[in-house]
A = this chain, B = another copy of it.
């Protein structure tokens, strides 16, 4: 039957200057979980991850990155499967099977919060919602650890790769982009230096438009040049050697 291989997706979203993660709440339990699923023996692992993302968010063609394989033997506590049976999450005949070691591949994705319309829970969970990274609920298994690892890798990769595409509207102001970086990095950045550095990456285009409506000076709107953006991800933004 199952190959004993599952995937877990850490789906990051950004909203109101806060970094969010999409989580499922398990039926009849207080625990939450990452969206994921088992990988069929016939399917390629990476494409299954794409499917999970699609099932939960309705989004395709999103930056999705495999970042780690979690394969420790102590990923769940004794009695874990028992609890799942007791709370009706899985049928009793699967209890033993669920008590063995699981190997899970972690993926993370960056998606635009507003484009995800009413994320849908699956059969084993009764809600699917965005949770603030700074205020995560109790999570099953080692999902907390998986999220933290994804976050750590995301921050490290920020040094070599741009982010923003799929995390912001198609057109955005420089301040919005900066707010994204500040949120992910969890600290303030200098406005002037940020603008200069970001423009120097040569991945932005000025749309020529302005956003009006705020009680302030109307900002220019930019968009990503997707070709250059993807090239930057491929080649890295800098290399020391």
Contacts and interface: CB of A to CB of B under 8 A. Distances in A.
A44 B66 contact: no
What are the 8 closest A-B residue pairs judged by CB atoms, nearest first?
A45-B71, A159-B240, A44-B73, A3-B4, A44-B72, A69-B69, A69-B105, A185-B241
Most chain B beta carbons < 10 A, residue from A44, A237, A239, A241? A241
Contact of A159 (B42, B185, B241): B241
Contacts of A238: 159, 240
A209 interface: no
Nearest to A106: B69
Nearest to A45: B71
B101 A241 contact: no
Given A5-B5, A156-B160, A159-B240, A71 B42 contact: no
A166 B100 CA distance: 35
Contacts of A240: 158-159, 237-238
A69 B41 contact: no
Contacts of A66: 68-69
A236 interface: yes
A181 interface: yes
Interface string A84-103: 00000000000000001101
A39 interface: yes
A73 to B, nearest CB: 5
A205 interface: no
A126 interface: no
A43 interface: yes
A105 B69 CA distance: 8
A72 B101 contact: no
Contacts of A236: 156, 159
20 contacts: A3-B3, A3-B103, A4-B5, A5-B103, A41-B100, A42-B101, A43-B73, A43-B101, A44-B71, A44-B73, A44-B101, A45-B71, A45-B72, A69-B105, A159-B236, A159-B240, A159-B241, A181-B241, A185-B241, A238-B240
